Amino acid sequence: MTMHMNTDAIVKLDGVVKQFGTFTAVERVDFEIGRGEFLAIMGSSGCGKTTTLRMLAGLDDPTEGDIWLDGERVNGKATWDRDTPMVWQSLALFPFLTVQENVEFSLKMRGVGKTERIARARNWLDKMQILEFADRNISQLSGGQRQRVALARALVTEPKILLLDEPLSALDAHLKVRMQAVLSSLQKDLGITFVYVTHSMSEAFSMADRVVIMSRGKIEQIGSPQEIYHAPRNRFVAEFLGSSNIFTGRLVEKSGDDWLVETVHGRFAVTASNAPAKSLGDAVTFTVSAENMHISPEGAHTPGIRAKVVGEEFVGATAIVFLETETGEELKVQKSHVELTSVNLHPGSTLNLHWESHSCHVLPGE
Ligand code: ATP
């Protein structure tokens, strides 16, 4: 279950609200980040991720609530008085300085001597795999190279907290994966707390200790990647993760954790561990992940759902088959190519799908 960070939280947001005029961009957000933790913030465009990060950086002040950094309430405290550098999508590098000078800059501001400055800057440029561009001007770099200069510039002072807003968005897929590995190991080795905003689920889930999922200025769920993936709290999170098939119905029978739910497709057994208490007749929403959906063999009389194939997408060693039920619900099945060889996947063909009752997860927040 959710880790408790109260003992050694380095970041704490307490009832934080941010309004721009009458528009509420962040609505009563509470969370803590442990020292040395890697926290990713995800959510659809405009949900308040960047605004949350800007409040941590001191670029925006909360309208209500408190922000604590390393035991100190920092509301109203200027950016330059906080040890929270930020790496941006739009980078704010100095265009008239060389790559090396950009990275040295923050050390210079801290009065670090020239020899040490050069050595430290070169070390970070090397770690970010851009040492060969040390003497170039920023204008002579690609977007991805600039992003790595920005990372080197932020990391060279080895801050306690680093705020990152889509720091790898300009890199190609191959370099992105390499830089993810570099960032993850640096973060753990140096013990820096990372607050990392991203649109990429694979980035967030492969790097972060915990993930925050936001929508419309509110937190929908906080938890480890495993917790969120296997136990999404509500429909928003399940849909956001995109891997789940979602069904709704009414509770018609119940014996402990074994529930029977009546849906438009028939009655399904659901294992309701960790689900909130419900009475007969109550609405129940449950999900079955795409990997846990099975395609019944032709002619088998397994109870399940009939759905029409709409399309197919290759995802490495597996394929995702997209289907639609008679009542218009979209379903997904993810299987290895081998498992799909004997299945008719032509658009319009009908398949029978089934799953085991223990693969159902009741959404507790619905
Ligand atoms: P994206 O993923 O698209 O970058 P986000 O989750 O980072 O989005 P924010 O930049 O935090 O979103 O913005 C949240 C909301 O607040 C948006 O609807 C945005 O239009 C609004 N907003 C942000 N800054 C301001 C501002 N200075 N004045 C008015 N509205 C703003």
Instruction: Give per-residue pLDDT as tens, 239-254.
Output: 999 878 999 999 999 9
- The whole-angstrom separation of Cα 48 and Cα 43 is 8
Domain range 235-362, its CATH number among 3.40.50.2300, 2.40.50.140, 3.10.20.740, 3.40.309.10: 2.40.50.140
Q: Output the CA 262–ligand 1 centroid distance in Å.
A: 41
Q: Whose CA is nearest to atom 31 of ligand 1?
A: 20
Interval 192-217: pLDDT, tens: 999 999 988 989 999 999 999 999 99
Sheet with strand 266-271: strands edge to edge: 266-271, 258-263, 244-255, 283-289, 360-362
Whole-number pLDDT of residue 4:
41
Nearest alpha-carbon partner for 280 in 297, 308, 265, 259: 259
Give the relative orientation of helices 143-155 and 173-190 as an angle to the nearest 10 degrees. 0
Q: Candidates 20, 56, 90, 196: which one to mutate for ligand 1, based on the most atoms within 8 Å of Cβ?
A: 20
* Domain range summary for the chain, segments of one domain joined by +: 6-230, 235-362
Q: Which amino acid is at 171?
A: L
The answer to whether 98 touches 136, Cβ cutoff 8 Å, is yes
Q: Output the CA 43–ligand 1 centroid distance in Å.
A: 12
pLDDT at 100 over 70: yes
pLDDT at 172 over 80: yes
Domain range 6-230, its CATH number among 3.30.930.10, 3.40.50.10800, 3.90.930.12, 3.40.50.300: 3.40.50.300
Q: Output the CA 92–ligand 1 centroid distance in Å.
A: 19
Q: Candidates 22, 47, 60, 220: which one to mutate for ligand 1, based on the most atoms within 8 Å of Cβ?
A: 47
Whole-number pLDDT of residue 242:
86
Q: Which residue has the tokens 């405290």?
A: 77
The answer to whether 297 touches 273, Cβ cutoff 8 Å, is no
Residues within 6 Å of ligand 1 by CB: 20, 23, 25, 43, 45-51
The answer to whether 187 touches 172, Cβ cutoff 8 Å, is no
- The rounded mean pLDDT for the chain is 90
pLDDT at 3 over 70: no
Choice between 280 and 159, residue whose per-residue pLDDT is larger: 280
| ipTM score | 0.96
Kindly state the tokens that stand for 131.
């040492």
Interval 285-307: pLDDT, tens: 999 999 999 999 887 777 789 99
pLDDT confidence band for 182 (50 / 70 / 90): confident
Q: Candidates 51, 59, 197: which one to mutate for ligand 1, based on the most atoms within 8 Å of Cβ?
A: 51
pTM of this prediction? 0.86
In 10 A of CB 145, how many CB atoms? Answer: 21
- The whole-angstrom separation of Cα 360 and Cα 293 is 10
Find the helix or strand (DSSP H, E) in which 305 lies. strand 305-315
User: Which ligand 1 atom is the nearest neighbour of the CA of 18?
Assistant: 16
Whole-number pLDDT of residue 169:
86
